[in-house]
Structure 1
Amino acid sequence: MKVFDIIIQAMLSLRSNLLRSWLTTMGVAVGVFSIIAVMTALQAIDRSVAAGLSSLGANTFEIQKYPAAFFGGHGRNRFINRPDITYEEGLAFKRLMQEEARNIGLKVSRSGNQATYRNRSTNPDVVMVGADENFTAANGFDIQQGRNLVEQDILYARNVILIGHEVYTTLFPQRSDPTEQLLRINDDVYRIIGILARKGAAFGQSQDNLVVIPITRYRAHIDSRQSVGITVEASSRSTYSSTLDQAVGAMRTARGLTIRQENDFELRTNESLVESFRDFRQTISIGAFIISFMALVTAGVGIMNIMLVSVTERTREIGIRKSIGAPGATILQQFLLEALFLSLTGGAIGIMAGTGAGNLIAIAFNLPPILPWLWIGIAIAVCSAIGISFGIFPAYKAASLDPVDALRAR
């Protein structure tokens, strides 16, 4: 028989037991789905991490109370029970580092705010940032229109506000000039002085859905006890390491730590973010691999079982074909193709469903959808190996049947 005829015969044989064939493919689909879905989501997050690092800046690092990635668990109390970084300590740090860094910005923030202008309102998910005049430069924001915060705004705790691009497009859909207009945030009214240029998303979160007010007004009217974050921009990449070392010493001095006391603050650098994400990704990947491996092995056993049943049911058919001259190699190829087709069909279903599910997770976190071509190729190769490995014994058994004994079967 020609190869094409063998393929047609194999597909017709599977079609004759359609329900059983589909149930068999579902085992493979589940295993492939789990690994493809997880790896699609992780690759989307990986891209977001890269974008987030570029938004932080190559020469920029942050000093915070908590680590770059804080998932709780072991050591949780050590971070929670740390004293907050106070505004006064932030000011002391700025004085100590004013000759060593290009920009040093202080900030605090709170999510879940709603901005209102006349009869238009944003969703209650706007981030309110209390910051000083160096916030925009240190954090890579540009002023699209109007002006930035100035020292006098901070000194006198003025009720002025910068609005992010997303807030601007929501409240001013006609793209009119919003400067000097009054904006209500919760129960307070602020005068708009500028618009921040679009910055995009980082780590799955929009960087444009925010408003910025003077940190002194934030402390006076919203929360005076919140831990302060400090963003430091080194003068150049060549001085980054020395600036980082000097910042640690300056922060220890500002916090009043003795030589025997360990740091009670964290540095958020590009390297710390990458390391945190790498650990997270490795843990999730191992879990997904174990689940997928168990599902695929189970599916392979199911394929072997179904093919052995098929050989038993079609013993007389095999005897007739061999008696009229069909070689054993042709029968072996047909049964092997049936097993391979079952495995690859399940793999295709798992790839499509897994890619869709992974991208739904990515879209839910404002991440760009992707196609994990490497893992799709790996899944196809693994499914092929599963089909061949677990189909070879039933196929060999069918090809080895004696035609006389096979014709006697009922």
Structure 2
Amino acid sequence: MGERVYGLLGRKLGHSWSVPIHTALGCAGYRLIELEPEELAPFLRREDIGGLNVTIPYKRDVMPLCDVIDPAAEAIGSVNTIVRRPDGKLMGCNTDIDGFRYMARRAGISLAGKKVVILGSGGASLTAQAAARQEGAAEITVISRSGPDNYENLGRHADAQVLVNTTPVGMYPKNGEQPVDLAVFPALEGVLDVIYNPRRTALLLQAEERGIPCSDGLPMLVAQASAAEERFFGKTIPAGENEHILAQLRREMTNIVLIGMPGSGKTTVGETLSRLTGREAVDLDQMIAADAGCSIPEIFSREGESGFRAREAAAAAEAGKRTGVILLTGGGIVKTAANYGALHQNGRIYQLVRDLSLLPTEGRPLSQGADLEAMWRERAPLYRRFRDAEIDNSGAVEDTAAAIWRDFCEHSGT
């Protein structure tokens, strides 16, 4: 027999991180396999299948097509990994549960003895329920649109201690949508969201704001892939490998966001960073001008500052959905509180600082003839609220760009 087939089985896969993860784990031929429902059974009869991961909508559909179902997958009622056993039989397993427990432990969220509320009732919900049972949760409640526990009577579960989102609400490209308001659950000790694009859904942004330990689904994705590889090839993958791959993916996906006073050097630093890193630099002001069909000063004169800020918020929401780019913002982006979520959802935010006497004002609608001291007093606390790090830009632009890239490589992988 020739090369065996390894890959991810689904219907519409689009961009998936499974290929780079499995490649990093040593499975060089791993690929995406898109099938229509009627193609599923004939495909699984192929004798060259080595190992497959299975994603929506086929996690239950493949079960009757497997020769053997692992007891853990049977208990969950869902298969996400199919392995060719030495005797030639196809065995259905579930490594999502390994991934889920890894994600929770990594975030320091214990399910033992806790009331766990799970949003959604699909395949990922079955995994979360099984993991909560294995971890010894005291009570498990599943919220669905039409079940007895639904989004209209959430108040009866105000004592929830751990909240798990297994729905696609808030997932790219519908960033910013939120399945529930965490204010309903004042006793929360942890929030887990199986979504990993964006890095921080609106639900996780609210958890961060409230100081609640939380995690996105990327650690789960990496750990379940690692557990699948162990089953595919009968090998043990060192524990640290998950963290190594996770850090690598985080760096690739995270945006570098530059904020700061008008004239603080965001454009020149951004262009230098782009050359240094090979990343695309996305200028929000250029996006706004292109969309409006006129220059920024013209927008200010026609629509006033409020009109410009509305356009700026729309551009931030759109650009913030992207991953792995450099975002260059206008000096006043921090004046609209909602822009924080848009920029922070996938980004690490750097404030460039430069002495006020060095800030040029030419061609800057709010800087010309303005009292820069007063502007600074108003904006300084807003910049502090938005930023992850402050970078001095008084010296050579190459030094500033290098300092940002050093910090980014050190901190974006966590």
Q: Same fold (TM over 0.5)?
A: no
Q: TM-score, normalised on structure 2?
A: 0.25
TM-score for both structures, normalised by structure 1: 0.26
Q: Higher RCO, 1 or 2 (CA under 8 Å, sep at least 6)?
A: 1
Larger radius of gyration: 1
